[in-house]
Structure 1
Amino acid sequence: MIEFLTHINPGFLLVIVGIIGCFTPVKRVRQALMVATPVVAMILLAMADRGINLSTTAVLDIELVLYKVDSLNFIFGLAFLLAAFLNAIYALHTDDRLQDGMALTYAGAAVSATFAGDLMTLFIFWEITAVSSVFLILRARTKAAYQAAMRYLGIQILSGVLLLDGLAYVYKSAGSLRFDEIGTFLSFEDPGAKYVFAAFAIKAAFPFLHNWLQDAYPKATVVGAVVLSAFTTKLAVYAFARMFPGFEILIWIGAIMTVFPVFFAVIENDLRKVLSYSLNNQLGFMICAVGIGTPLALNGAAAHAFAHIIYKGLLFMSIGAVLYRVGTTKASELGGLWRSMPWTTIFCIIGAVSISAFPLFSGFVAKSMTMSAVAKEGYVIIWLMLLFASAGVLEHSGIKIPYFTFFGHDTGHRPKEAPFNMLLAMGLAAAICIAIGLPAFAPGFGYDWLYGLLPCTAAVGSAVCEVSGKAVVSYEPYTLEHILTQMQLLMAALLAFILLKRFGLYPAEKPGTILDTDWFYRRWGYGLAKWSGQVWGKAGPAMTGVAGNAGGRVFDRLEEAFSPRGALAKGALTSGMALWSAVLLGVVMLVVLLSS
């Protein structure tokens, strides 16, 4: 029985239990299932054999690999399961069957897609992530959330359609959809590569395709935003690492992704939207590393994704706790909360220093690998862009989030501390941020545990590393050079913030909506829709009347000809039509028979 379970994709378990949870009215039973299922799934994953197809099936002569574990998807899958476990604990104070069930289903779809061994299985769960995650926005039950959810769903379904188009081309050219037979895309010569790339780009929130993230995440429920931050975009990073390692254009796209969100995050007032821009920024580091494609860079992308899922979730949890107690995440309406929410303040600071890559925290041991990989390959401009982006991370996520939420100007709010289950989830996430950031004083301790899971380590081989044709490498983050470089950068950014605040040059936190590339559809699109509505309001009745009259005349003629009372139903013509219809049908059947 145990052997049978270890051959089942653990994501399937989460999806099934998540659906069951939607129909489980007893709160304690449902929440016990939500918390226990990811734990069971992690145990099954740990017992699974790596490098072989554990579960396969055939549908319409297409071989589907439903479950395959290797060193690349193992670390992503483990991070997703950890996030699902923490998210379930964080949601224990709520009693929302649909939210609980869809959150676990969403996590399960992401896990299932990660362990898929072929493009078709990936596509199926790619779409399930889109459908299940939209409920986490809808459950906010506001008009803005509904509108954002519809926009979000549309763009996510578009990603799925593009992926389906791409896999059709791939199947035609390669005759298979299995990753181990397709290999990786090294150019756009295969038309399928373009469609697959575009599908991944949407979910990874590439520049000009990113607005669904800042539009939807801040409007989700308190729990929903935490859940959303973990899965969709990191699934896209995994997909790029699986199919596009060493794809050079990703280097520049990733670098641009790290830089542009900094400017918007600085002036944004909604702190959940600040975290959404910060999420864009962090994705850029991972995408850039995938584009470099060397073993060190791929290790950096995987390590960064793992660490990011935890510390970004921690930051969304802390701001979510503030939203739950105060009712707002506007920086202009917050401040002084450390007095009544001390534990939430501490956990938020741990998340902030982790994302800022302070030594002794998870971000340092992950991000430094990407920076080293970029420098080693000689990309000077890219390295400078990432360096600037690293300073920006400290400013908008490391300083702005905790400062304006818990310190800054005191607005007089004195809410209760977050519920115990929220504190427990935040405490566990904070502990992970610290544990994997510590120096490796012993084997399996500190960052050595995380590095042992990476796809291009000496202990565990990986298909993507073998494709790169280069030897696996080891890495030591705690060198004097790395520590001094990072601390100089962090202190310079901190000093800049202090001076800007001291001389009144830091942008004031003001209510309002900050638009970036969504300006085109929010302003132009809205204007076009409004103009079209006005035109239709004036010309519509007349056009409808003309069309109705013309349609009526056409219908009358058709009825006159073909109805039982019509001319074609009278006399010998009826039997003649029946005879010729039979002859034509026979000819068609003969042609089909001869051509088969």
Structure 2
Amino acid sequence: MPDIFPPALIFIAAAIVLPVLPKGNLRALFLLAVPLVAAHEIWQLSEGVTHTYELLGYSLTLMRVDQLSIVFGLIFSFAAFLALLYAWHVKDTVQQVTTLLYAGSAIGAVFAGDFVTLFIFWEGTAVASVFLIWARGTEGAYYTGMRYLIIQIASGVILVAGMALHYHETGSLAFGALTLGSLGTWAILIAFGIKAAFPLLHTWLPDAYPAATPTGTVVLSIFTTKLAIYSLARSFAGTEILIYIGTVMVFWPLIYAAAENDLRRVLAYALNNQLGFMVIAVGIGTPLALNGVAAHAVAHILYKSLLFMAMGAVLYRTGTAKASGLGGLYRSMPITALLCIVGGLAMSTPLFAGFVSKSLILSSVAKAYEPLIWAALLFGSAGIFYVAGVRLPYLAFFGEDKFAGAPERPKEAPWNMLLAMGLTAASCFALGLMPATFMSFLPYDVAYDAYTPDHILTQLQVLSFTAIAFFALWRFGLIKRPAPGILVDSDWLNRRLALAIVKLGAYISRNMWGLMSRTATRRLDAFLASIYRAHGPQGPLARSWPAGSMVLWIAVLLGFTLILSFSQSL
């Protein structure tokens, strides 16, 4: 493989140069050029290992290239281009620099050949991404960002602990296939699971993404969780427990997404649901399933980015993304409304990328003789289409017009946002329209036809039933806007449990301190009483001693001293 400049370092070098460039169109063009140059470099790669270094006796590999890393590297670069185009109007240097560092760290982790290199870039994604939350500038964003950072750094700490244990057990730091069983591999799985938003480890996701800036949320939705999916596919393909973890992920977020008022938070839960599809496919671990993981990661990055872009545009123009304050926006934001609907259709409708990728996963599950998991995925697909593909556009753009009496209606999204959304929608359509080309980039050479009659019929039946159910409920007035308020997730349990543990610890500490204090006080009182008895006015040491007795005791003490000195000289 030719010795090329690592794509991750292209982003990092650009982040260093960026602050000296004047704000304006020149800087925006420079930003757009960076991911295109990186994508060109990745496109030229051939499989192999390069940029290997020796550090403190360890062999570190900066570039380990195969088709799996190429697929993720390309989609990360292209998605970064779309996100930067979407954020063309943003002049905040901090957001621009951290976006480049975030993308570069994610791509660096994708091409890492060892766990030390992975860890460095893994933590890079955590540190860089938090600034996209803090850039919102609110007190809530600050505290949310701190919580996000702590959880992401904790993932890195667990990763490095697992890495150290694994090295002690095997003598290898290679970032490759692992067999779950040892303490080290379990720690690595948990570290990946935190970023992949496993059940009960997921609450950072719906908290952090809606707290970021309108453009920052789009960037956040691209990298962190998909990097975790890549890492799982790289290390834990075929690990059966992931099938059941993924199944819970498919169902769990639907409960909250259906009741949530903040539409960006709805999309965060929908993102978590789709991660469950990929985790299940990693657990299946066959070449067909792993192709499904890579394909769905690509499709999901595109259509979920499109939906986040639409909600970001709504937030940018109206100042809110809460369903209780939206409605009727199709009248003044018709293009955004149309592109949002396309994003919903792209999740699983024929002729779009999501249909192809989900067909791969469903087929891999069916061929693995997992009928219950297959049925769960089909139900999850219908549920998320209802929540994010039909209900979300309705709540944001249709229904009661919340802006009818306003002095001025919200304007259509800026041209750069519309262009970014249009390119993203076109990409979803192009990949769905040309499935053979799409699948030619996937890691394994597996013959597969997504557009068979049974695939099309099954998916259309599910989607048609979901849409009919929604419009029937709407027709009879059963579709209600979520009530304003805060929806508490499973972190309620964590917080209550943590509070109970703290209270129990405080109670035990308080009582132990009281017991030790009382015991020490009693012993001190007894000691002082004994001294008083000996040295007090009535004590024996206070009496008058005859001169002969004093001479006798001095002679005894002197003799004892001589005996000790003599014994030490022997």
TM-score (norm 2): 0.86
Task: Specify the alignment match of 1:381 in structure 2.
Answer: 372
How many pairs are equivalent?
Answer: 510
3-state DSSP class of the match of 1:229?
helix
Rate the CA distance shift 1:392–1:90 in 2: closer, same or farther, 3 A. Answer: same
| Structure 1: distance between partners of 2:241 and 2:504 | 39
CA deviation vs aligned residue, 1:220-279 (integer Å, no higher than 9, x gap): 001110000000000000000000000000001111101111111111110000000000
Deviates more, 1:301-310 or 1:493-502: 493-502
Task: Specify the alignment match of 2:168 in structure 1.
Answer: 172
Amino acid at match of 2:290: L
Amino acid at match of 2:30: L
Task: Specify the alignment match of 1:421 in structure 2.
Answer: 416
How do 1:425-464 and structure 2 match up within 5 A? 425-438=420-433, 446-457=434-445
Task: Specify the alignment match of 1:74 in structure 2.
Answer: 70
Amino acid at match of 1:509: P
Task: Specify the alignment match of 2:454 in structure 1.
Answer: 481
3-state DSSP class of the match of 1:65?
strand
Residue 366 in 1 paired to residue 357 in 2? yes
Rate the CA distance shift 1:302–1:213 in 2: closer, same or farther, 3 A. Answer: same
| Structure 1: distance between partners of 2:43 and 2:394 | 40
Amino acid at match of 2:441: L
Rate the CA distance shift 1:531–1:326 in 2: closer, same or farther, 3 A. Answer: farther
CA deviation vs aligned residue, 1:433-467 (integer Å, no higher than 9, x gap): 000011xxxxxxx111210011111xxxxxxxxxx
How do 1:8-157 and structure 2 match up within 5 A? 8-22=5-19, 24-50=21-47, 52-157=48-153
Find the partner of 1:294 among 286, 296, 302.
286
How do 1:172-251 and structure 2 match up within 5 A? 172-179=168-175, 183-188=176-181, 190-251=182-243
| Structure 2: distance between partners of 1:71 and 1:92 | 31
3-state DSSP class of the match of 1:68?
strand
Deviates more, 1:514-523 or 1:286-295: 514-523
3-state DSSP class of the match of 2:252?
helix
CA deviation vs aligned residue, 1:72-97 (integer Å, no higher than 9, x gap): 11111111001110111111111100
Amino acid at match of 1:484: L
| Structure 2: distance between partners of 1:331 and 1:484 | 33
Task: Specify the alignment match of 1:340 in structure 2.
Answer: 332
| Structure 1: distance between partners of 2:318 and 2:158 | 41
| Structure 1: distance between partners of 2:8 and 2:479 | 46
Deviates more, 1:22-31 or 1:138-147: 22-31
Deviates more, 1:272-281 or 1:17-26: 17-26
**Cα drift, residue 170 of structure 1:** 1.9
Rate the CA distance shift 1:23–1:168 in 2: closer, same or farther, 3 A. Answer: farther
| Structure 2: distance between partners of 1:22 and 1:403 | 41
Amino acid at match of 1:437: G
Deviates more, 1:206-215 or 1:383-392: 383-392
Residue 512 in 1 paired to residue 485 in 2? yes
**Cα drift, residue 525 of structure 1:** 5.0
| Structure 2: distance between partners of 1:209 and 1:9 | 32
Task: Specify the alignment match of 1:353 in structure 2.
Answer: 345
CA deviation vs aligned residue, 1:48-70 (integer Å, no higher than 9, x gap): 221x1121111111111101210
Contact 2:353 2:432 in 1 (8 A): yes
| Structure 1: distance between partners of 2:198 and 2:334 | 37
Amino acid at match of 1:222: P
3-state DSSP class of the match of 1:436?
helix
Contact 1:334 1:405 in 2 (8 A): yes
Contact 1:186 1:246 in 2 (8 A): no
| Structure 2: distance between partners of 1:3 and 1:378 | 43
Task: Specify the alignment match of 1:580 in structure 2.
Answer: none
| Structure 2: distance between partners of 1:13 and 1:271 | 35
Contact 1:343 1:423 in 2 (8 A): yes
**Cα drift, residue 3 of structure 1:** 5.2
Amino acid at match of 1:322: V
CA deviation vs aligned residue, 1:131-164 (integer Å, no higher than 9, x gap): 0000000000001101100000000000000110
How high is the sequence identity, in percent, across the aligned residues? 51
| Structure 1: distance between partners of 2:164 and 2:307 | 40
3-state DSSP class of the match of 2:51?
strand
3-state DSSP class of the match of 1:515?
coil
| Structure 1: distance between partners of 2:382 and 2:463 | 6
Q: Over alpha carbons, which structure has the higher Rg?
A: 2
Contact 2:197 2:205 in 1 (8 A): yes
**Cα drift, residue 531 of structure 1:** 11
Contact 1:25 1:97 in 2 (8 A): no
| Structure 2: distance between partners of 1:529 and 1:251 | 35
CA deviation vs aligned residue, 1:325-368 (integer Å, no higher than 9, x gap): 0000011111111111111111111111011x010111101101
Rate the CA distance shift 1:333–1:135 in 2: closer, same or farther, 3 A. Answer: same
**Cα drift, residue 16 of structure 1:** 2.1
3-state DSSP class of the match of 1:303?
helix
Rate the CA distance shift 1:365–1:101 in 2: closer, same or farther, 3 A. Answer: same
Segments of 5+ residues of structure 2 without an aligned counterpart are 518-570
Contact 1:66 1:121 in 2 (8 A): yes
Amino acid at match of 1:495: I
Rate the CA distance shift 1:141–1:524 in 2: closer, same or farther, 3 A. Answer: farther
**Cα drift, residue 219 of structure 1:** 0.6
Rate the CA distance shift 1:521–1:20 in 2: closer, same or farther, 3 A. Answer: farther
3-state DSSP class of the match of 2:63?
strand
Amino acid at match of 1:139: A
Rate the CA distance shift 1:115–1:427 in 2: closer, same or farther, 3 A. Answer: same
Rate the CA distance shift 1:452–1:497 in 2: closer, same or farther, 3 A. Answer: same
CA deviation vs aligned residue, 1:523-554 (integer Å, no higher than 9, x gap): 56578889999xx9xx9xxx9xx9xxxxxxxx
Amino acid at match of 2:444: C
| Structure 1: distance between partners of 2:496 and 2:318 | 32
| Structure 2: distance between partners of 1:20 and 1:366 | 38
**Cα drift, residue 169 of structure 1:** 1.6
| Structure 1: distance between partners of 2:285 and 2:9 | 31
CA deviation vs aligned residue, 1:376-423 (integer Å, no higher than 9, x gap): 111111111111101101111111111111112111262111111111
Amino acid at match of 2:398: F
| Structure 1: distance between partners of 2:453 and 2:427 | 24
Contact 1:22 1:100 in 2 (8 A): no
